[in-house]
A and B are shown apart, each in its own frame.
Chain A
């Protein structure tokens, strides 16, 4: 599972991928230790998520995609409306 290749493509340059890994890991590290996240057929602790992000495997890539989507929608303001 840990070395599973990512099936979701982030389609970004390798140097940016490194930045995104660091940004995502920092955001995950700041999360409360009392919460777990359920994705697909498994649930993950904070530490497990960070490992997946560092390996940029399928789960790690999905977590990065989730954070990127959130930050982009936050920055462009689209997150604030739903119609």
Chain B
């Protein structure tokens, strides 16, 4: 009798775009979506107006994505979608997030929401216990992917998701993402850094000290 392994290679991304901050996150999701496509993931892209609670919960229940990448503003107890309306909060049903690996690129959600999602049987949660901070060049707001200052912050956070998509455990994703952030911090303090890169150093350190991983650190997509 043949044995088949069912691969749940699916990714759900929420990415509102109603203000400059979330618009940067919106664009920086593009390389993630490209990679997931290349790796044959089923992709559920809840972008702009689709980043809202009904759409989110219905996709989560129906598709059961292995990886959930939340982008948006956040508080200790919620993460928002388009127009700052909550997309997930403390009253989320267990069947919405059960067995998912969750990465929240938002402020403070690792403080209360993250631990709650783990209690509600999410496999792992990576996020920030304080505000997620980034700097950007004001003359690059229409081309966020070309912003060299925003890149110092958003490339390391993207790396966390990339490593998970490539099938590695979340602990490796966390470590490699933090290592790259630290490398960028060191670069910002070096003599090779531009004035703007040097200005970014305290904010880079802030993010480095704010990111946490909870749940099953060996969880992976396979």
Contact = CB atoms under 8 A, between A and B. Distances in A.
A75 to B, nearest CB: 13
Contacts of B107: 40-41
Q: How large is the interface on A (under 10, 10 to 19, 20 to 34, 35 or more residues)?
A: 20 to 34
B116 interface: no
A65 to B, nearest CB: 8
Contact of A79 (B20, B196, B205): B205
A36 B139 CA distance: 10
Contact of A43 (B21, B139, B185, B201): B21
B21 A38 contact: yes
Contacts of A41: 19, 21, 73, 84, 107
Contacts of B182: 82
Interface residues of B, number: 32
A32 B21 contact: no
B208 A82 contact: yes
Interface of A is mostly: mixed
Given A79-B185, A82-B178, A35 B209 contact: no
Nearest to A27: B202
A66 B136 CA distance: 17
Interface stretch (B95-103, B127-135, B162-170): B127-135
Contacts of B55: none
A38 B137 CA distance: 11
Nearest to A24: B202
B17 to A, nearest CB: 14
23 contacts: A32-B195, A34-B139, A35-B135, A35-B138, A35-B149, A36-B135, A37-B134, A38-B24, A38-B133, A38-B135, A38-B136, A40-B107, A41-B21, A41-B73, A41-B107, A43-B20, A66-B202, A66-B206, A67-B202, A69-B202, A69-B206, A73-B205, A82-B208
Interface of A: 31-32, 34-43, 45, 62, 66-67, 69-70, 73, 79-80, 82
